[in-house]
Chain A
Amino acid sequence: MSTNSFQEHFDSLIDRDITIEPKDWMPEDYRKTLIRQISQHAHSEIIGMLPEGNWITRAPSLRRKAVLLAKVQDEAGHGLYLYSAAETLGISRDEMYQQLHTGKAKYSSIFNYPTLTWADMGAIGWLVDGAAIMNQVPLCRTSYGPYARAMVRVCKEESFHQRQGFEIMLTLSKGTEVQRKLAQDAFNRWWWPSLMMFGPPDAESPNTEQSVRWKIKRFTNDELRQKFVDVTVEQAKVLGLDMPDADIKWNEERGHYDFGKINWDEFWNVVKGNGPCNKQRLDARKKAWEEGQWVRDAAMAHAEKRKARKKAA
């Protein structure tokens, strides 16, 4: 087949909603886009362990401690399947780590915000995992097979996390005055960064159009953001919390909530590395990697020794 007919075959698979598999021919840009997106997603899971990990040793009850620990462990698991999915595109996990550590690969900027109180464990589950689900559910039908299958598993667990987060918020909102204050404070701090999780407005999103055409992405950033706002306003009512945005108003004509202006200047600054915890998060990962080098070397050396002994026997 000529490149042209490879391309035609690929296009016809995409058009018929048949998944692309690792051995299929794919345009180089499709492969690159996927590596970028899947590895970014995997890194987000791994970096995302840190802000919540920050509260494991301080969780206020044994049950909460166990649930939080299990949740952070799930994130490690998500990182693992996503790294594996990316590896099917011809990049190694070590290379991906390298890209993360050198700042070449990005991860979700939300994790560059600090977790200051216990209520942040609720707000992250409710809002951050809630926003992640909206982004991720459509990815269960994304055109690349290994990514779509990984996402089915990820989404099941994420929706469980989202419910756990909401339940923390609900407990706080039904608690004492100071607990309601903790909940509101966390909501105030996490609301805007959560809206930014959907990425820049469609008009300024360089990758959206092509990704939608390749069926990597199924909805645009703005469509998903609106859906998130609509759902969250109703949930905040259940919690009895005030929306941290004075411009939230139901728009009868659009059938959606209008909301205020997002501070994109802040968003781009955090993306560029100027968020409150960018350095801290990356340093923590680099430290784990560097301090783990001798452990990985030992495991490798031991495996080699065993193999040699087995051969000699």
Chain B
Amino acid sequence: MTLAYTLQLADDALIIGHRLSEWCGHGPILEQDIALTNTSLDHLGRARSLYQYAAEQFNQLPADKKESFFTSVALMQVVKAGNAIDEDDIAYLRDGWDFRNLQLVEQPNGDWAHTVARSFFYDCFNFLYFSELTKSSDSKLAAIAEKSLKEVTYHLRWSSEWVVRLGDGTDESNARMQEGINDMWMFTGEMFMASEADKHAAADGTGVDVTQLKSLWEQKVGEILDEATLTKPTGTWMQQGGREGRHTEHLGYILAEMQFMQRTYPGMEW
């Protein structure tokens, strides 16, 4: 079960990293372009460590388990040919329903405020999450968490500062930031709903009990929104499904773009 758990964490990291990388060269301020690209690289780096670990776990599964683990035809061809899979096979050869990332991270960048809102909610969750995951009984996950926590601490500082700057900036920026917060809000509930993989991992000490993080997250988010003179949304109906492979329409387009080389020129070294 650590495999499924590792994969959902890796997918979050890859997809948010991909989204943030779309800003590269198009940011509103050169220094911020650089900062956001840095963050994107942190997420991508974490995705790679996790996919490498996932591939290692997958390659040790018995043959029958391997063949039923993923639904992707392209990935199954690699497996059935008797080849070990690697980080790229997992990232590039699965279809959306095998991706277990949160729907939040696949949401489009929108304007700067939407990007900031998405990052802020996710970074705040990540900070609490990786603080806990450093205690994982799985030494590999604990080590990845340790490294990530340093990065995520910086990410959270960055996104919190921007929420405050935009909320407490001009009338226009306040309105845009509020809209960003409102639009992303319905995707935040999923972070605290434990998937099957989460439940197993929390029970055996390898993972984090996400249900325990919610009140701390709400408190932290509330503080920053207050400072930013923004209103915390009151909606309680939350979207969910990402952890089960049910996504918003956006993920399909991310994958179509991201995977096109591997799909068009299969089995090559790049």
Contacts and interface: CB of A to CB of B under 8 A. Distances in A.
B260 A298 contact: no
A56 B21 contact: yes
A77 B22 contact: no
A83 to B, nearest CB: 8
A302 B88 contact: no
Interface string A24-59: 000000000000000000000010011001001111
Nearest to B37: A73
Interface in A93-124: 118
B28 A291 contact: yes
A298 to B, nearest CB: 3
Contact of B27 (A70, A80, A292, A294): A292
A175 interface: yes
A53 B166 CA distance: 27
Q: Dominant SS at the B interface?
A: helix
Contacts of A294: 170, 172-173, 176
A69 B41 CA distance: 7
Contact of B262 (A49, A60, A69, A80): A60
Contacts of B170: 294, 297-298, 301
A179 B34 contact: no
A57 B21 contact: yes
A134 interface: no
Interface residues of B, number: 47
Nearest to B33: A76
Contacts of B58: none
Contacts of A76: 24-25, 30, 33-34, 37
Given A62-B51, A176-B268, A295-B173, A49 B164 contact: no
Interface in A264-313: 284, 287-289, 291-299, 301-302, 305
Contacts of A46: 25, 30
Question: What's the interface size class on A, roughly?
Answer: 35 or more
Given A57-B257, A79-B30, A284-B25, A70 B166 contact: no
Interface stretch (B42-50, B59-67, B71-79, B96-104): B42-50
23 contacts: A46-B25, A53-B24, A56-B22, A56-B24, A60-B92, A62-B44, A62-B47, A62-B48, A63-B48, A69-B40, A69-B41, A73-B24, A73-B41, A118-B261, A175-B269, A289-B28, A291-B28, A294-B176, A295-B112, A295-B166, A297-B173, A301-B173, A305-B168
Given A58-B258, A64-B270, A299-B165, 11 more contacts: A49-B24, A49-B25, A53-B24, A57-B22, A76-B30, A171-B269, A176-B265, A176-B268, A179-B268, A298-B166, A301-B170
